[in-house]
């Protein structure tokens, strides 16, 4: 398998700051992206679950990318979510991303209909590839069965990788099953497996995986980067334990709300408190608990 455009490492599933009218605040987003990259994170996963992608229209998602790049965010640091239920929308967003210089795509399966066969999923992805028709397109499949109700079987992955080796280069595995991650890494050498949580960052790296793409890295990025930098050292296990403790602070809470509320306090900026329906904010008592635990660990 060819070398990919994105290196191994830590990728932050970036939140999307909003204005009071719930349109994206591009200035804040650009500043947030640059601050995350300054931690040493290798890149940004934009317009994913944490970025509230499916609460935005196709035109809004295109405009966000255009405006963000105009603010100087490097397109080569971006893994962009473009997966939609409609294959035409997926093609539209993916083609637009490539036109804007973003070649690394995080692709959800079409997630509304359930009990879809491997052959039908293959057809969907094949139609996207053939319609976009770009050799520089690199797709990271987004495995998140809790949200999509769909799984990527080994046979489906094998067929996609065999038929489109230049295009299907990796996966974000948010299934929460370390055994599944290990199985993918073992079966497909060179296929970049990113854990969907930093809880499994060290395990994935030791198995030969690529790193992590994490929502909570909006706050835990410095420790994630530290684990990645020292994963082959004697410090690795202790650093990973510290990282898991940070991640666990947020477990069981709706990530979009609690992460935005935490950043509103950490950055002293109430603009972070805006979320798009159907996401919402959590009760303040939980925010106080989270911030207290963060402070105790600092």
**Distance (Å, rounded) from C-alpha 204 to C-alpha 173?**
11
Tokens of 57: 């229209």
- What residues make up the domain containing 133? 9-233
How many CB atoms lie under 10 A from the CB of residue 114? 8
The stretch 43-67 carries a mean pLDDT of 99
Q: Which two tokens stand for residue 32?
A: 């947030």
Say if 249 falls within a structural domain.
Answer: no
Reported as a pLDDT band with limits 50, 70 and 90, residue 143 is very high
Q: What's the pLDDT tens digit per position in 245-265?
A: 999 999 999 999 999 999 999
Q: Given this model, what pLDDT does residue 5 score?
A: 83
Q: Give a yes or no: residue 238 inside a domain.
A: no
pLDDT band at 4 (very low <50, low <70, confident <90, very high): confident
Task: List Cβ neighbours of 186 (8 Å cut-off, separation of 6 or more).
Answer: 207
> Residue 84: pLDDT above 60?
yes
- The pLDDT, as a whole number, for residue 134 is 78
> What is the structure's pLDDT at 135?
79
Any domain includes 204? yes
Residue at 104 is within a domain? yes
In a domain, 262, yes or no: no
| Number of domains the chain contains | 1
Alpha carbons 191 and 176: distance in angstroms, whole number: 18
Confidence band of 297 (pLDDT split at 50, 70, 90): confident
| C-beta separation of 110 from 146 below 8 A | no
For residue 269, the tally of other CB atoms under 10 A from its CB is 13
What tens digit of pLDDT does each residue of 92-137 get? 999 999 999 999 999 999 999 999 999 999 999 999 999 998 778 9
> Would you state the pLDDT for residue 2?
58
Mean pLDDT for the chain?
Answer: 97
pLDDT at position 298 is 76
pLDDT beyond 80 at 3? no
Q: Judge whether 13 lies within some domain.
A: yes
20-46 core/surface letters (b: 16 or more CB in 10 A; e: else): eeeebbbebbbbbbeebbebebbbbbb
Q: Alpha carbon of 87 to those of 66, 98, 137, 252, 291: distances in Å?
A: 22, 16, 16, 33, 41
The structure's pTM equals: 0.96
- Which segment of 132-136, 201-205, 216-220 scores lowest on mean pLDDT? 132-136
Mean pLDDT value across residues 61-80? 99
- Tell me if 137 is assigned to some domain: yes
CATH number for the domain spanning 15: value is: 3.20.20.70
Asked if the model's pLDDT at residue 279 lies above 70, the reply is yes
Mean pLDDT of the region 54-59:
98
pLDDT interval class at 51 (50, 70, 90): very high
Task: Give pLDDT, residue 94.
Answer: 98
| pLDDT at 233 > cutoff 70 | yes
Residue 268 lies in a domain: no
């Amino acid at each position: 398998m060819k070398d990919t455009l994105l290196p191994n490492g830590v990728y932050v599933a970036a939140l999307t700051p909003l204005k009071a009218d719930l349109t994206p605040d591009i200035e804040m987003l650009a500043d947030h992206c640059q601050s995350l990259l300054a931690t040493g994170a290798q890149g940004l996963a934009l317009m994913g679950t944490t970025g509230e992608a499916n609460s935005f229209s196709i035109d809004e998602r295109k405009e966000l990318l255009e405006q963000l790049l105009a603010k100087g965010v490097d397109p080569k640091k971006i893994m962009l979510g473009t997966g939609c239920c409609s294959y035409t929308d997926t093609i539209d967003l993916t083609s637009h991303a490539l036109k804007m210089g973003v070649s690394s795509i995080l692709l959800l399966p079409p997630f509304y209909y359930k009990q879809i066969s491997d052959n039908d999923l293959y057809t969907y992805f094949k139609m996207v590839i053939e319609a976009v028709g770009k050799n520089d397109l690199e797709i990271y499949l987004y495995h998140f069965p809790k949200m999509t109700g769909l799984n990527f079987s080994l046979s489906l992955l094998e067929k996609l990788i065999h038929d489109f080796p230049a295009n299907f280069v990796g996966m974000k595995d948010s299934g929460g099953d370390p055994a599944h991650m290990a199985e993918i890494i073992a079966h497909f050498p060179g296929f970049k497996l990113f854990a969907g949580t930093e809880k499994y960052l060290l395990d994935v790296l030791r198995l030969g995986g690529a790193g992590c793409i994490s929502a909570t890295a909006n706050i835990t990025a410095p420790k994630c980067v530290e684990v990645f930098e020292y994963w082959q050292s004697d410090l690795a296990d202790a650093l990973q334990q510290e990282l898991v403790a940070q991640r666990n602070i947020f477990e069981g809470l709706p990530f979009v709300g609690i992460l935005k509320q935490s950043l509103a306090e950490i950055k002293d900026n109430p603009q972070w408190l805006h979320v798009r329906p159907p996401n919402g904010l959590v009760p303040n008592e939980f925010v106080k608990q989270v911030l207290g635990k963060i402070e105790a660990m600092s």
